Amino acid sequence: MSRILIAARTNPEGFATLFRAELPEHEVVTTLPDDGAPTPYVVVGLPPPGLLASRTGLEVIVSTNAGVEQLLASGEVPDGVPVVRMVDPGLRAGMVEWVAGRVLSWHRNLFAYLDQQAEGHWAQLPEVLAAERIVTVLGAGALGGPVATMLASLGFVVRTWSRTPRTVPGCTGFAGRDALDDAVASADVLVNLLPATAQTIDLIDHGLLSRMRSGGLLVNAGRGSAVVDADLLCALDDGSLGAAALDVFRQEPLPADHPFWRHPRIFITPHSAAITHPRTSVAVMAETIRRHERGEPLVNVVDRARGY
Ligand code: NAP
């Protein structure tokens, strides 16, 4: 009876109940009995200090998050133990909806009409066809790929940018650092869905934002570390950017005195774009454990050297 420790910070008992239904032959616990028995599986987002390093018989770390930079940086992950990151239909659906909401709100002038409504002002603004707008999606992975597909299905001209060449149907793919400027050139909307790594930190600076068509929209649901905050404010103030919809920040929660809170062209959500839904995610995590026990290769294993 292999043991699964659920160390998720949010709703561990909810996750445990679903795991017990999926894997009734396993022992599912939310706190470890003091019996020294091996714990081959730990389900965790950000582990409390000592949780992983001290486990005996640890075989697989199952991350409740898609982004694993904090897990890797914790220094808790023992060498040689695979980390499987979260790739599931609930997360994908959440991200597709959230980005659709931001891009369409900006594209159809909702942000500007809210300002007009506040003043009781009736005036039609110019409406542009989606086919006349270029959207660049940074990241073409489990989330960036479906987001790009959704945007293309709405009629936008969509480009993706990834580390290695990726094909997303209906989109033009760019790959590698040297292709970044071309991927962003004249874009109306820039959507960031990159992981936080040494290569993606500070990637979105004033120089990159200036490559876009002036007055455009930045959408960041990847990680806050990709954006140089001061450069974003500067680009909004000098008009090279029109608005920003931000879900992720360098420091979370966003500090109360951060200028983003009060900027009239910045729209903030509290890292809620795509949350891990227990019902969809437990089915995926249980399948990871079944695969491991069948001796099959795991999927969505984090490459620690790459950092994602
Ligand atoms: P993923 O499947 O690993 O995809 C990552 C994409 O980024 C891949 O296309 C990858 O290129 C590309 N990439 C990585 N490093 C790059 C670099 N240096 N240059 C160019 N492209 C690079 O990850 P995912 O599941 O789509 O998730 C992406 C990120 O979304 C997560 O890491 C997390 O930070 C964020 N996220 C946010 C929320 C939220 O609620 N806001 C929720 C979930 C996830 P290759 O295809 O060549 O590998």
Ligand 1 centroid – CA 162 distance (Å):
9
Both tokens of 7, joined, read: 């160390």
Torsion of CA 307, 52, 22, 84, to 10 degrees: 10
So what's the pLDDT on residue 238?
Answer: 96
Supply the pLDDT for residue 1. 83
The reply to whether ligand 1 has any atom less than 6 angstroms from the CB of 200 is yes
**Secondary structure E strands in the chain:** 3-6, 27-29, 41-44, 60-63, 83-84, 134-138, 157-162, 171-175, 189-192, 216-220, 241-246, 266-268
Structural domain boundaries of the chain? 3-88+276-294, 90-268
Please give the CATH topology (third level) of the domain spanning 90-268: Rossmann fold (3.40.50)
Helices marked H in 162-302 — which ranges?
Answer: 180-184, 206-211, 229-237, 278-294
Tally of CB atoms within 10 A around 166: 18
Write the Ramachandran bin of 169: left for phi over 0, alpha for psi from -120 to 50, otherwise beta: beta
Q: How far is the CA of 78 from the centre of ligand 1 (A)?
A: 23
Q: What is the pLDDT of residues 76-96, one digit of tens each?
A: 899 999 999 999 999 999 999
Task: Answer yes or no: is the C-beta of 195 below 6 A from any ligand 1 atom.
Answer: yes
pLDDT at residue 53 in the model? 79
Measured by CA distance, the residue closest to atom 8 of ligand 1 is: 141
Q: Do domains 3-88+276-294 and 90-268 have the same CATH topology?
A: yes
Question: What does the DSSP assignment read for 36-66?
Answer: -----EEEESSPPTTTTTT-SS--EEEESSS
| Residues 191 and 163: beta-carbon distance below 8 Å | no
Three-class secondary structure of residue 33 per DSSP: coil
In this structure, the chain runs to a length of 308
Q: Provide the pLDDT for residue 55.
A: 80
The residue whose C-alpha atom lies closest to atom 19 belonging to ligand 1 is 163
For the question of whether the overall pTM of this predicted structure is more than 0.95, the answer is: yes
The CATH code for residues 3-88+276-294 is 3.40.50.720
Active site residues per annotation:
223, 271
**C-alpha radius of gyration, the chain, whole number:** 21
271: left (phi over 0), alpha (psi -120 to 50) or beta: left
Nearest CA to ligand 1 atom 33: 67
At 34 the pLDDT is 87
**Residue-wise pLDDT tens digits, 199-245:** 999 999 999 999 999 999 999 999 999 999 999 999 999 999 999 99
**Minimal-distance CA residue to ligand 1 atom 38:** 274
The Å distance, Cα 147 to ligand 1 centre, comes to: 12
Could you tell me the distance, in angstroms and rounded to a whole number, from the CA of residue 267 to the centre of ligand 1? 22
**Structure token digits, residue 282:** 């437990």
| Dihedral sign, Cα of residue 244, residue 174, residue 170, residue 67 | negative
- The 10 Å Cβ neighbour count of residue 202 is 12
Element spanning 71, H or E:
helix 69-73
DSSP string of 125-138? PP---GGG-EEEEE
pLDDT, one tens digit for every residue, the chain (308 residues): 899 999 999 999 999 999 999 999 999 999 999 898 999 999 999 998 988 877 889 999 999 999 999 999 999 899 999 999 999 999 999 999 999 999 999 999 999 999 999 999 999 999 999 999 999 999 999 999 999 999 999 999 999 999 999 999 999 999 999 999 999 999 999 999 999 999 999 999 999 999 999 999 999 999 999 999 999 999 999 999 999 999 999 999 999 999 999 999 999 999 999 999 999 999 999 999 999 999 999 999 999 999 99
| Residue from 193, 227, 248 whose mutation best tests the ligand 1 pocket (most atoms within 8 A of CB) | 193
